[in-house]
Chain A
Amino acid sequence: MRHITTRHTEPVADVPLTEPVMLILLSLAERPRHGYAILKDVEAMSDGRVRFSTGTLYGALRRLLEAAWIERFEEDDAARDRVAYRLTRTGKQRLVTEAARLKHLTRLASLRLALKGA
C-alpha cells in the first residue's frame, strides 16, 4: 500500500505558512512593496538565507493574489508606472494568526528546554 502525502502548493488557511510565504507577508506588513523591493527585503530579513529567484517570487505572489492575501495596485508616487503589492485584511489576519502560533510554539519550546536543563 503506498503512502502518499499531500503537498499543498496553494496557501491554505489552516496550514502553517512556509518560511518564504511568511517572509513575503512580513515584508508587505511593513509597507507596500514592488517585486524587487520584496526580494531585497526578504534577503535582508533572512540574513541572505532565503534568496528567491524571480520565477519563484512571482509564483508565490500569484498564489497569494489568488488566495486574496495580497493585492496589486499601481503606485501613484513612483517615477514611472510601477505595480506594487500590499497585504489585504485577510492576509493580515492570516499573518497575525501565524505569528501567534509561532509565538506559542516558541514559548512552549523555551519552557520545555528550560525544564530539561533544570
Chain B
Amino acid sequence: MLKTFFRLALRLYPREYRRTFEAEMLDVLNHREAEARAGGGLRLLSFCVHETFGLITGAASGHGIPARSAEPWLWSLEAPAMVVTFYVLGVVAAHEFGLWGFFFPATYVVAIAVIAASAWIAGRTCTLVRPRRRHYAVVVTALLMSMLIIPGSLRLLEDARAAALLKRPDAEVTFALPGIHVTSFRKAIDPPRTTGLTFSQVFSQGPTAMTLVHHRESAAPPYVALGALLAGSVAFVSRRRLSC
C-alpha cells in the first residue's frame, strides 16, 4: 500500500522530473521503507510522515514553488486586501459607467478569475507600495483591468448570457443564488420595487421580454470574501515565487 501511495505521490512531480528520477526515487523509498519496517511501528510512522512531507515539498519545488516564502507570511495578506480593493474599484467603475449588469451571478466566477489574475500580476511584483520603475506598466495594467476591463468584459458576457437565456424555449426562467435572483420574462413587466436591494435592475428589455437582476446588499460580503480567498490563494502562491 505504501508503494502505491508513493507511486501516486510521485505523480505530483513534473513529467520531466519523473522521467529522470522516478525509478531512482522509488528504489530509495523501497530501501528506506524496509529499514523503517525493521525498526518497528513508530519508526514506520515517522518514515511515512517524513517522506510524505518531503515528496509534497519536493513536488512543489519541482514545479518552481519554493516550500518556504522569502518574506514574512503577514505580507501575503496584501494579496486578498488588494483583491477587495480591486473589487471595490470595479464596482465603482461599473456604477460610474452605468454597467448595471455587473452583478449578474454567472459573472462572479469571471470576476473572481480576472481579479485573481490582477492580484497575481501585481502581487508577484510587489508593486502596490513604491513600485519599481520597471513594474509601473504592470501596476497600470492591473488598475486598468480592475477599473475598466473587468466591468466592460463582464458586461459583454452578461449580454451574451441574457441573450442565450431569452432564446430558450422555457423563456420564463427564474433562478437564485444566496442573495441574488435572476428572472427572465417573456413579456415586459413593471420593474420591481428597489427598496432593500442594492442593485435591482432591468437587465435587458424588449417589447416582448425582459430580464431582471436582483442583488441584495447582504449578499456582497460572502461573494467578495470568496473571491478574495480564491484570488488571494493564487496571489499567495505567486508571492512565494517572487524574489524582488
Residue positions of A touching B, CB distance < 8 A: 1-7, 9, 34-36, 39, 51-59, 61-62, 82-83
Contact = CB atoms under 8 A, between A and B. Distances in A.
Nearest to B6: A54
B31 to A, nearest CB: 5
Contacts of B27: 35-36, 82
Contacts of A1: 129-130
Given A59-B58, A62-B17, A54 B75 contact: no
B58 A58 contact: yes
B28 A39 contact: yes
Interface stretch (B65-73, B170-178, B212-220): B65-73
Contacts of B28: 35-36, 39, 54, 57
Contacts of A3: 71
A9 B66 contact: yes
B55 A54 contact: yes
Given A7-B70, A7-B243, A58-B24, A2 B58 contact: no
Contact of A4 (B50, B59, B71): B71
Given A36-B31, A59-B62, A62-B17, A6 B70 contact: yes
A55 B31 contact: no
A21 to B, nearest CB: 14
B32 A54 contact: yes
Contacts, number: 77
B51 interface: yes
Contacts of A9: 61, 66
Nearest to A63: B61
A52 B47 CA distance: 11
B145 to A, nearest CB: 23
B195 to A, nearest CB: 46
B21 interface: yes
Contact of B58 (A35, A36, A51, A53): A53
A76 B71 CA distance: 46
Contact of A2 (B25, B50, B129): B129
Contact of A55 (B57, B68, B75): B57
B136 interface: no
B44 interface: no
Given A35-B24, A53-B55, 14 more contacts: A1-B129, A3-B71, A4-B244, A6-B243, A7-B243, A9-B66, A39-B32, A53-B50, A53-B58, A54-B25, A54-B28, A54-B51, A55-B51, A58-B24
Interface in B1-55: 17, 20-21, 24-25, 27-29, 31-32, 50-51, 53-55
A6 B241 CA distance: 11
A58 B18 CA distance: 11
